[in-house]
Structures are given as C-alpha cells and as structure tokens.
Amino acid sequence: MDSLTTLSQICSCVTGAAAALMLLVRPLRDRLTGANRLREGQKCLLRSNMLRTYYRNRAAQAIRQYEFENFICEYRAYKALKGNSFIDKVYDEVKQWEVIA
C-alpha cells in the first residue's frame, strides 16, 4: 500500500505541474500569435500605401520628393518585416522615375 500511495502522490504532482505549465504557456503562445497578426497588419498597410503611391504616379513616371522618401522608408520597413518580393519590382521601377522637388 505504501508504494501505491507514493505512486499516486507522484502522479498527482506531475498532473498538477503539467496543468500549471499549460496555464503559463497559453498566454505566451497567444501573445506571440497576436504579435504575428500585428506584423502581418503592418506589412499589409505598408504594401497598400506603396502601391497607392505607385499607381497614383505611374502614368507620369515622376514622383514628388517627399513621396519618394516616404516610399523608400516604407519599402525598408516592409522588407525588415520579411515582406515578399512582389514589391521589389515596384520599388525598382519607382527608383527610375524623375523625383520632383
């Protein structure tokens, strides 16, 4: 009986520790998921703004200096967030446009 009681106590402790660990891990996992969602949202906003600037100025093949500077900053931020290569083609084209003061 003594070994059975000890085994029961050990199982109870292990179960309690596992439950406590799950209570600690879940908020951390949810926080990381939330951070990923924010990162994806930031990438989407940056890409959207860069494309808006691109399509607004594409016909003239010219861009105002402040728009160009903003575009460059947005591009760098987008790439730092691991944005895909789609915007690279747009960036290469915009760099060739005339910059108007």
Q: What is the pLDDT of residues 68-98, one digit of tens each?
A: 999 999 999 999 999 989 899 999 999 999 9
State whether residue 52 is helix, strand or coil: helix
pTM of the model: 0.67
User: Which residues does 51 contact at the CB level (< 8 Å), separation at least 6?
Assistant: 87, 90
Instruction: Work out how many domains the chain is built from and give that number.
Output: 1
| Cα 40 to the center of its chain, rounded Å | 4
Mean pLDDT estimate for the chain: 86
What pLDDT score was predicted for residue 29?
A: 64
Q: Could you tell me the residue range of the domain that residue 20 belongs to?
A: 2-100
Distance CA 56, CA 89 (A): 16
pLDDT at 28: 62
CB 66 within 8 A of CB 101: no
Q: Between these two residues, 38 and 21, which has the higher pLDDT value?
A: 38
SS3 98: strand
Each residue of 40-55: pLDDT tens digit? 999 999 999 999 999 9
Given a contact cutoff of 8 angstroms between Cβ atoms, the answer to whether 50 and 71 are in contact is yes
